Amino acid sequence: MNKGPKKVQKLVMKRIHLPSQLQIRSSLTPHDVSVLILIYYHCFTELVIPPKVFVKVISPSIPSLEINPILKKSLPNYASHKPLIPTLGPLIDYLLRLDERKIALKVISFLQSMESLDVFTQLLKVLNENCLVKTYRSQSSIGGASNRRITKTSFIGIYLVRCLTKYQIGDFKDKEALWESFSQYLSDFKQTSTWFSIETEVKEIEFDFMPKGNPRSEDREMISLFRQLSNDIYSSNASTLMIDNTYFQSILNWQIYDIAQKNGTVDPAVMDITKKLSSSDMTQFPALHIIRYLLAVQANCYQDALDALHNYFDYMLTQNEESCFHISLLCLATFHMCFHDCPAAIKAFEEATKIARENKDSATLNLIMIWVVDFIEIYPEYAKHFQVTVDQIVRYLKSCSDNENSLVFENAYRFESLLLMMDNSSSISYLESVMKYIVIALQRLQSGSNIAPAFKYSATLWNYLGFTSVSKVYQVASMSNLSSMDYDIRRAFDALEAANYDEVSSSLMKLKSPRLNNEQFKMLKLLEIKFYIAMKDYKTSMRKVNERLNESNECVSDARWKFQFQIQKCIIFLSSSLAMRSIPLLKDMINDSELSKNCFHTAQALLLLCQVLLSIGKAGECKKLLSSNLPTLLQFPQLEDKVVELFNVLTI
């Protein structure tokens, strides 16, 4: 018996190199073994394992169904915590970060003491027989009084039942693959700095649930040697990883969510996993094409994005569903929209609409209509290229059946409020629409909806109405960051205030960018006009402002921007000693603002009128107008300095 181990010991010197591989399986994985050990300690010991640990290790917080941010239009507000990569290192590091060192050491000691798959078999058996119950009422009929019970319908119970089922229906190859992967799982961890920092604290343990026996010393020696042989074999290989297919899909979904919602990047660990995927595994996870598409769009790589999208189409069209073709067209339309290819986007939108109607797919048709109005909001100059108007689309969405997704009505009221603002309608009307929009958005929070877009829209609305303090509250609540372009534009306006004209001039070069949306384009045009006024080039500034006003009359009329450019026109008249010519325009502006009940616009127009009266030598009328409208003017902090300045001039 002693010669056998010596012969085997010589074989240890010949390291066997196995090719690295990634196994995507529906059977049990080493990560499941670690989770089941946590459940065992939870049930049979006094060790207190926080519930958030089970939530973290069992479910990565994102559902395993495939996510497509293009089709969802509004992604639910998933938990922002990154799911664990299902290897031992991230799990132990997570427990140590929670200051649960005792739990981490217990898990490692248990794993280190497992000498065969029989230990795992007995572990499942004891959990099934002594912990799992149908209801808490039946807990007194099984096990000892000190055991914690788990009902089959609880969060942990559902997971445990799933593990038992997987193990019972698994064949010999599945069990063999589990043990091989487990050995590699443990061996990989022993190469990490975490292992070296706690190695001395890891103790060998005996399992109370194992059948009692007293193996001979020679048998123990043989078992120890074969265990060492197994460790040596696996430690000499590149990492292999065994991942449950639903868990892997959840990891991919989290990556999609992180990229789509937060402009994040792919986790290097996830990237390493995807590189090991075989061609057959690639076909099972079309989410990989979506990730590549989103990253390519983020990096402005047109061809890479298009290739990834076509690969996704190839998968979609193999599903043999009627909706697949027009869904693919919708994806293509949004792709062209991202790259500001408006004619191509319009063509794809209309083709998708046509086929969705032919297939009577109302759910996708509603989604297409929402995207169309989004497109028109960004590119209003293309509104006339569609066969339907925005008004018709909004009426259609509002008249949808109550059974439709509430996202339809949420967007309908948002678009309605936008149209009312653009048409210079009563502020009461569009505030009502915005309130309905926010109420529906808040109701959708119960299903995991993301409220941030609603708060961001509200911040823009209150800023438009002049209530900047309210706007800031919504802006903070939305937790949204400015895009790099928006940030550059805001910085350029600050530079103009500081008379840093070189920086403003370089910022105006962005007007040539094809990637500007309508809001950014108008902001830069406003900056350009203010820049020429500051440079006292009144002729050019007047030409520019007239171009914008004529454009507003000829294309889609937007009262919000029309008022801004009218203010600049009045300022040009004032600055060029032609103040009298601005009075008719100011009267129209005051009438329009009173019609819309927009007090901020009224206050701005009245303040300009006071400046005009002072400029043409009518100081008495100016003072009278200013005094009678002080309550209106002083409710807006951004106008206070100009009001004080006027009073100082009038009292000299």
Contact residues for 140 (Cβ-Cβ < 8 A; gap 6+): none
Does pLDDT of 10 surpass 60? no
Taking residues 551-565, report their average pLDDT.
Answer: 80
Q: How far apart are CA 292 and CA 297, in angstroms?
A: 9
Closest by Cα among 180, 171, 240, 197 to 96 = 197
Cα torsion 323, 327, 328, 331 to 10°: value is -170
User: Per-residue confidence at 3, pLDDT binned at 50, 70, 90?
Assistant: very low
How confident is the model at residue 240, as a pLDDT? Answer: 62
Give the pLDDT of residue 289.
84
**514-549 pLDDT, tens per residue?**
778 888 889 999 999 999 999 999 999 999 999 988
Q: What is the pLDDT of residues 420-466, one digit of tens each?
A: 888 888 999 989 999 998 888 888 776 666 788 888 889 889 989 99
Separation of CA 414 from chain center: 20
Q: Which residues contact 555 (CB under 8 A, 6 or more apart)?
A: 380, 381, 383
Quickly state the pLDDT bin for 77 (edges 50, 70, 90): low
Query: What's the pLDDT score for residue 385?
Result: 78
Say if residue 7's pLDDT is above 50: no
Average pLDDT of 9-28? Answer: 52
Tokens read off for 579: 């103040």
* Residue 380 scores a pLDDT above 90: no
Q: Are 170 and 189 in contact (CB under 8 A)?
A: no
Say yes or no to pLDDT of 609 above 90: yes
Write the pLDDT tens digit of every residue in 487-513: 888 899 999 999 998 999 888 888 877
Structure tokens at 596: 């819309």
Whether 76 contacts 450, CB under 8 Å: yes
CB 375, CB 349: distance < 8 Å = yes
DSSP for 367-427, written as a single string = HHHHHHHHHHHH-GGGGGGSSS-HHHHHHHHHTS-TTS-HHHHHHHHHHHHHHHHHTT--H
Q: Where are the domains of the chain?
A: 20-242
Q: Which pLDDT value is given to residue 621?
A: 92
Quote the CA–CA distance of 283 and 316 in Å, as a whole number: 11
| pLDDT for residue 238 is more than 50 | no
Q: What is the mean pLDDT of the segment spanning 372-382?
A: 82
Distance CA 30, CA 210 (A): 20
6-20, 205-219, 569-583: lowest mean pLDDT where?
Answer: 6-20
Check residues 214 and 55 and name the one with the higher pLDDT.
Answer: 55
Angle ∠(357,360,366) on CA atoms, nearest 5: 70
Residue from 480, 568, 24 nearest 243 by CA: 24
Structure confidence at residue 105 (pLDDT) = 93
pLDDT tens across 155-168, in order?
A: 888 889 989 988 88
| CA angle 84–65–317, rounded 5-degree value | 130
Mean pLDDT of 591-613: 93
CA 224 to chain centre: 50
Assess contact for 525 and 387: CB atoms under 8 A.
no
Is the distance from CB of 56 to CB of 81 less than 8 angstroms?
yes
Would you say 344 and 336 are in contact if contact means Cβ atoms under 8 Å apart?
yes
pLDDT: which is higher, 364 or 496: 496
Q: Are 427 and 596 in contact (CB under 8 A)?
A: yes
Q: Which residue has the higher pLDDT, 214 or 583?
A: 583
Task: Report which residue type is found at 215.
Answer: P
Residue 502 backbone zone (phi > 0: left; psi -120 to 50: alpha; other: beta): alpha
Residue 208 has a pLDDT of 78
Task: Considering only residues 366 and 241, tell me which one the structure prediction assigns the higher pLDDT.
Answer: 366
Is beta strand 22-25 parallel, antiparallel or unpaired with respect to 132-133? unpaired
- What is the rounded CA–CA span in Å between residue 38 and residue 518? 55
**Residue pLDDT, tens place only, 244-287:** 888 888 888 888 877 876 666 777 878 777 777 777 777 778 78
Confidence class of residue 328 from pLDDT cuts 50, 70 and 90? confident
- Asked if pLDDT for residue 213 goes beyond 80, the answer is no
Which pLDDT score, from 0 to 100, does residue 104 have? Answer: 92
Q: How many alpha carbons lie under 13 Å from residue 569 in its C-beta half-sphere?
A: 24
pLDDT reading at 8 higher than 70 = no
Q: Average pLDDT for residues 141-151, to the nearest whole number?
A: 66
pLDDT, mean of residues 403-421: 82
Nearest-angstrom CA–CA distance, 333 and 376:
13
Mean pLDDT, rounded, for 178-202: 88
Residue 74: per-residue pLDDT: 53
- pLDDT of 154 > 70? The answer is yes
Q: Decide which of 312 and 53 is more confident.
A: 53
Local confidence band at 174 (pLDDT 50, 70, 90 cut-offs): confident
HSE-up of residue 205 (Cα within 13 Å, Cβ side): 16
Position 226 pLDDT exceeds 70: no
Q: Work out the average pLDDT over 608-624.
A: 92
For 31, 32, 202, the CA distances from 182, given in Å and listed in that order, are: 9, 10, 18
* Higher per-residue confidence, 611 vs 225: 611
pLDDT-derived band of residue 291, with 50, 70 and 90 as boundaries? confident
Please give the pLDDT value at position 99.
92
Q: Which residues contact 468 (CB under 8 A, 6 or more apart)?
A: 462, 637, 638
Counting residues of the chain whose pLDDT is more than 90, the rounded percentage is 22
Task: Judge whether residue 44 has pLDDT over 80.
Answer: yes
| Distance separating alpha carbons of residues 44 and 47, to the nearest angstrom | 8
pLDDT of residue 432: 93
Model confidence at 572: pLDDT above 90 = yes
Rounded to the nearest integer, the mean pLDDT of the chain is 81
* pLDDT tier at 227, thresholds 50, 70, 90: low
Average pLDDT over residues 601-607: 94
For 237, other C-beta atoms within 10 Å of its C-beta total 17
Considering the chain, what percentage of its residues have pLDDT values greater than 70?
83
